[in-house]
Structure 1
Amino acid sequence: MKVLVIGGGGREHAIVHKLSKSPKVDKIYCAPGNAGIAALAECVDIKAGDVEKLKEFTLQNNIDLTVVGPEMPLVQGIVDEFEKEGLKIFGPKKDAAAIEGSKYFTKQLLHKYNIPTGRFKAFEKYQDALKFLKETWHPVVMKADGLAQGKGVFIVENFIEAKEVLDLMMKKKIFGTAGDTVIIEEMLFGKEASVFAFTDGKAIVPMVSAMDYKKIYEEDKGPNTGGMGSIAPNPYFDDKLLKEVMDKILKPVINALQKEGIVYKGVLYAGLMLTKEGPKVLEFNARFGDPETQVVLPLLKTDLVDIIEAIIEEKLDKIHIEWENKEAVCVVAASHGYPREYQTGFEITGLEDVKGAFVYHAGTALKEGKIVTAGGRVLAVTAIGDSYKEARDKVYEELKKINFKGMYYRKDIAIV
């Protein structure tokens, strides 16, 4: 098979790496890819959001299967466009991808079908939102309705902070049109968990659970990021809890979408808060998460191509999916200043010395034969062990070998 993977981050590197292990795959292309992906696939200079060019490339190169990594092309409707041409593509269609593309759509769906989540209000007018914030309880969570690269969520402790965030989203438009509608919801308390599941629109099969570390600094302090590390399985997530999540959240949401006339095929990613009242939905994503994919896929024993084909053909119930009985730990190395302003273009050294872990490239590029930084989150280093401690020790040992100017990573990932 010839496979095209769309995207150029750590998640896509993890997908490419797993696909490269399949005996069914002869050739992998990645658009646009990055310096690390280039070792496993032919990188194609097409942006992940350029649906027309991607479709053209797929037709011209007789691609057998396309796997979509990031959310943007899914929300734009790339699956619908490819399927019109009879092309095989993995991911939800545009109407289903709204589960990530619009937080308002998701909140309405959850409330309509009594799926556990926090109370919320949505506002399109600045003054209405401001009035509500003056009169409401605090702390609250404020979210941009649309896609904001994982940075559109703010926890605010009081009205002054809330007004500042509202100004950023609705007046300064820091997220563009994604902040035209602002969601204000109650703050949920507990441990966070990420649960990925494969679904063909009927059957839904959970993957190994994961835990993401969102804050930039140790002890979960500082602003939110796209993720500074992750571990799998989630130590706070047992079989009893999984059954509850399946029965009260994952199965009901697929059924709810069906009732709305939407068939969801692909990866469904539930961001949950494990509250005293039970698990509640924080958000859904319409694709593999990042950096959770970098700990989940290394533990997958079943051929990923077999799973993808079963989903496309709506035969997911016919396949048995197996996982390694191990622990995986991933630590993200970021550019100094991330998630705010940061510089790029610094040479990365020591990559060839890493032996006890796998280095997924998140924001890298090739420049004059050298690998350089090209993003806020630069590398995601993952190790597997029989315990979190074993995997953690390996990761931090290998991270010492890597260096670039301003390199920063959290030192407390996987202390459980």
Structure 2
Amino acid sequence: MKVLLIGSGGREHALAWKIAASPMLDTLYCAPGNPGIADVATCVPLEVSDHAAVVAFAKEKGIDLVVVGPEAPLVAGIADDLRAAGIKVFGPSKAAAQLEGSKGFTKDLCARFDIPTGAYGRFNNAPKAKAYIREMGAPIVVKADGLAAGKGVVVAMTLDEALDAVDACFEGVFGQAGAEVVVEEYLDGEEASFFCLCDGKTALAFGTAQDHKRVGDGDTGANTGGMGAYSPAPVMTPEMIERTMRELIEPTMRGMAEIGAPFSGILFAGLMITKDGPKLIEYNTRFGDPECQVLMMRLKDDLLLLLNAAADGMLNQVSIRWSEDPALTVVIAAKGYPAAPEKGSVIKGVDEATKLPDVQIFHAGTAVKDGELVANGGRVLNVTATGKTVVEAQEQAYAAVKAIDWPGGFYRSDIGWRAVEREKA
């Protein structure tokens, strides 16, 4: 098969690495890719927002399957344009991608189809949002309705924090994403990431993970796109997975079909495991980043076969096997992230770190300048390792982190702490 992968981050490097291992693969292209992806695919300088150019490239190269990595192209309808041109694609339609593109859309869907989630209100102006916040009290969660690269969510522990978050949205800090605001109940419990492979009719559980959103050790500091992750998430027991499928995923699949937007692609449920069971925090319509990296390290089956089955509506004919060994990834970010990451600093030692046993390093925000690897984003490297235990995976990952010579980067030193505490208890 000839495959075109869309994207340029750590998630896409992990997907490219796994697709490249498939016996079904003939040629793998990635648009636009990154220096790490270039080791396993042919990177092409396509402007992904130019759907006509993507379609033309796919036709010219005889692409058999397009795999869309990031959320923005999906919300913009790239899957629809590819399908309209007769090109097979893994990823939801524009209508189905609203599950990520509009938090208000998802909350309304939950209300309509009895999907467990926090109480909420939707607002298109600040005074009404603030009145609701004062009525509900803190802690409370304020979210920009649209896509804000993982940064449009404020978990406000005080009223002032919540009111400031509303102002930030309506003052344009998140651009168009903040034109509408969702204010929702603060849910108490343990967060988990749950993934399902979907083909419009069938949803197959596709692994669990736990992300670390805060920038600093001990879950302190600003929310980010994710500073690390591990898989599986111990809180997602077989019973909790079964409940999540029955109470959240299956009604979502039925509901999306009923409203004329059947969901095909990867459905990523951000969950809060409360004393009452799983509740939905948000849906994403693509693989998580950095959760994808740990899932790809644990997946025993041929990823390309699975993605192709989903695109063909044939998931009822496949199954998915996982390694028992946990995987853990540490994000090394550029100093200044998430506010103002410093770009251009030279990174050394990546090749040496990759030679350590059970380690893969996925490039998230790198470039090559004058023959040297440099930082070109906020989250720059995903240092990923497996082990017989989370403690072992954590040790392997941090040994690789320490082998990388990059004074311009920083990382959390406690990725996996919840699972480590459980193992040591």
Tell me the residue number matched to 1:25. 25
Tell me the residue number matched to 2:406. 404
Gaps of 5+ in 1: none
Tell me the residue number matched to 2:396. 394
User: CA deviation digits over 1:222-241, x for unaligned, max 9?
Assistant: 11100000000001111011
Amino acid at match of 2:210: M
**Alpha-carbon offset, residue 328 of structure 1:** 0.3
Amino acid at match of 1:213: H
**Alpha-carbon offset, residue 133 of structure 1:** 2.4
Tell me the residue number matched to 1:118. 118
Does 1:219 pair with 2:221?
no
Work out the CA distance in 1 between the residues paired with 2:140 and 2:195: 26
Tell me the residue number matched to 1:186. 185
Runs of 4+ in 1 over 6 A off after TM superposition: none
User: CA deviation digits over 1:185-236, x for unaligned, max 9?
Assistant: 0100110000011011111111121000100001101111000000000011
**Alpha-carbon offset, residue 403 of structure 1:** 2.0
Work out the CA distance in 1 between the residues paired with 2:325 and 2:303: 18
Q: How is 1:334-353 mapped onto 2 (pairs within 5 angstroms)?
A: 334-353=333-352
User: CA deviation digits over 1:51-98, x for unaligned, max 9?
Assistant: 222112111221111100000010011111001110011100011000
Work out the CA distance in 2 between the residues paired with 1:48 and 1:189: 39
The counterpart of 1:383, out of the listed 368, 382, 385, is 385
SS in 2 for 1:297: helix
Work out the CA distance in 2 between the residues paired with 1:98 and 1:132: 25
Identity %: 44
Q: TM-score of the superposition, structure 2-length normalised?
A: 0.96
Q: How is 1:55-134 mapped onto 2 (pairs within 5 angstroms)?
A: 55-134=55-134
Work out the CA distance in 1 between the residues paired with 2:48 and 2:390: 34
User: CA deviation digits over 1:36-65, x for unaligned, max 9?
Assistant: 111111111123333222112111221111
Work out the CA distance in 2 between the residues paired with 1:100 and 1:116: 17
**Alpha-carbon offset, residue 175 of structure 1:** 1.0
Tell me the residue number matched to 2:286. 287
SS in 2 for 1:380: strand
Amino acid at match of 1:108: D
Amino acid at match of 1:359: I
User: CA deviation digits over 1:304-359, x for unaligned, max 9?
Assistant: 11111211221101112111111101000001111111210111100111122100
Amino acid at match of 2:249: L
Work out the CA distance in 2 between the residues paired with 1:343 and 1:47: 24
**Alpha-carbon offset, residue 261 of structure 1:** 1.6
158-167 or 381-390, which moves further after superposition? Answer: 158-167
Work out the CA distance in 2 between the residues paired with 1:107 and 1:393: 40
Tell me the residue number matched to 1:414. 416
SS in 1 for 2:207: coil
Q: How is 1:296-335 mapped onto 2 (pairs within 5 angstroms)?
A: 296-335=295-334
Q: TM-score of the superposition, structure 1-length normalised?
A: 0.98
46-55 or 368-377, which moves further after superposition? Answer: 46-55
Work out the CA distance in 1 between the residues paired with 2:130 and 2:389: 48
Amino acid at match of 1:258: A
Work out the CA distance in 1 between the residues paired with 2:318 and 2:101: 30
RMSD: 1.0
Work out the CA distance in 2 between the residues paired with 1:241 and 1:206: 12
Work out the CA distance in 1 between the residues paired with 2:372 and 2:46: 21
**Alpha-carbon offset, residue 363 of structure 1:** 0.3
SS in 2 for 1:95: coil
Tell me the residue number matched to 2:360. 358
Tell me the residue number matched to 1:11. 11
**Alpha-carbon offset, residue 130 of structure 1:** 2.3
SS in 2 for 1:400: helix
Work out the CA distance in 2 between the residues paired with 1:118 and 1:372: 42
Check conservation: 2:137, 2:159, Cα contact below 8 A: no
Tell me the residue number matched to 2:138. 138
Q: How is 1:213-252 mapped onto 2 (pairs within 5 angstroms)?
A: 213-252=212-251
Check conservation: 2:328, 2:384, Cα contact below 8 A: yes
SS in 1 for 2:6: strand
Amino acid at match of 1:62: G
**Alpha-carbon offset, residue 300 of structure 1:** 1.0
Work out the CA distance in 2 between the residues paired with 1:145 and 1:49: 21
Does 1:205 pair with 2:207?
no
**Alpha-carbon offset, residue 393 of structure 1:** 0.7
SS in 1 for 2:248: helix
Does 1:147 pair with 2:133?
no
Amino acid at match of 1:247: R
Work out the CA distance in 2 between the residues paired with 1:392 and 1:157: 31
Work out the CA distance in 1 between the residues paired with 2:188 and 2:134: 22
Amino acid at match of 2:332: A
SS in 1 for 2:283: strand
Amino acid at match of 1:158: T
Check conservation: 2:192, 2:272, Cα contact below 8 A: yes
Amino acid at match of 1:94: K
Amino acid at match of 1:124: N
Check conservation: 2:143, 2:153, Cα contact below 8 A: yes
37-46 or 216-225, which moves further after superposition? Answer: 37-46
Amino acid at match of 2:102: S
Tell me the residue number matched to 1:255. 254
Tell me the residue number matched to 2:423. none
